Amino acid sequence: MKQYSSLKDIQSDLGAGLITLPELVSMYLKNIETNNPKLNALIEVYGEEALERAQQIQVKYNSGEAGKLAGMVVSIKDNICFKGHQSSASSSILKGFESLFSATAIERILAEDAIIIGRSNCDEFAMGASNETSTYGPVLNAKNTLKVSGGSSGGAAVSVQANMCLAALGSDTGGSVRQPASFCGLVGYKPTYGAVSRWGLIAYASSFDIIGPITHTVADTTSIMEVISGPDNYDATALNKKVVTGSTESSTKKLKIAYFKEAIDSEGIEPAVKQQTLVFIDKLKQLGHEVKQVSFPYLDVLVPVYYTLTTAEASSNLSRFAGMHYGKRSELAKDLETTVKFSRSEGFGAEVKRRIMTGTFVLSSGYYDAYYSKAQKVRRLVKNYTDSLLEEVDLIVSPTSPTVAFGIGEKATNPLAMYLADIFTVHANIAGNPAISIPFGEDEAGMPIGMQLMASRCNDALLLAFSESITA
Ligand code: GLN
């Protein structure tokens, strides 16, 4: 059966009567049955529910009343709450937890008739870059099953890569949408901080977290963003304006684009990735854009700042998992202290514990000024520098990740090596800017490479229009 990689194609076949929504969902369920047992991208499939919804939406479609996302079959990351369904953030501590309400982003895609087909595997509490910290085990890259999917939204990316659905909703705190998209040859989008409500997203680091789509095409990401972005009374940090509207201007303008000397010269960058980045820069020049090299003195401090601040926020956010209100309670619980102690010791995995301890340490009274306060100040410097640069240029380009998908197990026991994989993606979360990863070629072994473009805050529409114009 025909495989789809864009909503436009699906909607045109629906319109021509070449396919029905129940047939479309059945096709995805068949792909899930074939591919998922090996790849481990989806941890739960809502087969019957999705088929039932497909039938209902088909009726609406036939009478011309279906929403904008009719035909969009979506997987949702296991940290995005969906009423009446389980959400566990791929952690043992939340196994079996069922959400009482849906995330705003979920409400909005459902209101436009998207169909949710299942929930996707991820790193535990979205902490990781390879989907290896999940309590459900790693997700394998469909391009080469000895390689990681990327993370933390690894299941989200592979569900799209292996045609188990058309699009996925993931979350991005330091690259978790963009990096797996880049490892799987897909488009991954991290909106401006606050452009999508965090209501219903299980918190990791609240001043960094955002929900974002993974799709085959930029147009599909734009369609999803048009639906999920916008103000929300349930999230005080949500922007009070919609940054992506239906009238996204087509980008024919010639833009000014910068790239960082330090990024191109950074030592961890693989030769094939560096090579492709230079080819990409050349392509942008040939298209008539003005591309210039600039200096970025903060590259080496991005990862330390990110891990100081996100672990601090995580240590606070994750204190709610105490064996009291939700999730796991240890069998050894006897009183308050043993309930908290044993439930947390048994429920959290090693990486999450490492981050809670690091975060508690950087916030502790003797070290607060040396680490947490200092990192906040550097965050401000990075933000100011980025803002002033983006007054001179429209976009900043870099590779999404210094490497292609690495081997399963290759970095799993070396947290520092794993953290350095985030060097190019954390910048946008530290500064709050929108950033996209678009596929651009592959290495000699055929593994996909992604290019990242970053714009100034709230310039999501420009970033998406430009990305579409160079990928279409
Ligand atoms: N790899 C980064 C981390 O481990 C990013 C995670 C994310 O964006 N959720 O924190």
pLDDT at position 246: 72
| Ligand 1 pocket: which of 422, 423, 426, 427 to mutate (most atoms within 8 A of CB) | 422
How does pLDDT run across 350-408, given as a tens digit for each residue?
A: 999 999 999 999 999 999 999 999 999 999 999 999 999 999 999 999 999 999 999 99
Q: Which of 68, 77, 328, 411 is catalytic?
A: 77
> Using CB atoms within 10 A of its CB, is residue 345 exposed (0-12), middle (13-18) or buried (19+)?
exposed
Predicted confidence (pLDDT) at residue 249 exceeds the cutoff of 80: no
pLDDT band at 247 (very low <50, low <70, confident <90, very high): low
Predicted confidence (pLDDT) at residue 300 exceeds the cutoff of 60: yes
Helix axis angle, 21-39 to 7-15, nearest 10°: 140
The residue among 90, 41, 343 whose CA lies nearest residue 204 is 90
pLDDT at position 248: 55
Cα–Cα distance measured from residue 204 to residue 124, given in angstroms and rounded to the nearest whole number: 10
| Ligand 1 pocket: which of 176, 406, 411 to mutate (most atoms within 8 A of CB) | 176
Atom of ligand 1 nearest to the CA of 177: 8
pLDDT band at 251 (very low <50, low <70, confident <90, very high): low
4 CA from centroid of ligand 1 (Å)? 29
Average predicted confidence (pLDDT) for the chain: 96
Atom of ligand 1 nearest to the CA of 175: 8
Mean pLDDT of 64-72: 97
Q: Write the CB contacts of 185 (distance below 8 Å, at least 6 apart in sequence).
A: 143, 161, 439, 442, 448, 450
8 assigned to active site: no
125 CA from centroid of ligand 1 (Å)? 9
Predicted confidence (pLDDT) at residue 207 exceeds the cutoff of 60: yes
pTM exceeding the 0.95 threshold for the entire prediction = yes
Provide residues with CB under 6 Å of ligand 1. Answer: 126-129, 152, 172-176, 204, 310, 422
How does pLDDT run across 144-164, given as a tens digit for each residue?
A: 999 999 999 999 999 999 999
Q: Write the CB contacts of 247 (distance below 8 Å, at least 6 apart in sequence).
A: none
Q: Which of 134, 153, 176, 343 is catalytic?
A: 176
Predicted confidence (pLDDT) at residue 348 exceeds the cutoff of 90: yes
pLDDT band at 471 (very low <50, low <70, confident <90, very high): very high
345 assigned to active site: no
374 assigned to active site: no
Q: Which of 6, 91, 152, 315 is catalytic?
A: 152
What domains does the chain contain, in order, with CATH numbers?
Answer: 1-472 (3.90.1300.10)
Most distant CA atoms of the chain, gap in Å: 69
- Phi, psi at residue 420, to the nearest 5°? -70, -20
How does pLDDT run across 400-456, given as a tens digit for each residue?
A: 999 999 999 999 999 988 999 999 999 999 999 999 999 999 999 999 999 999 999
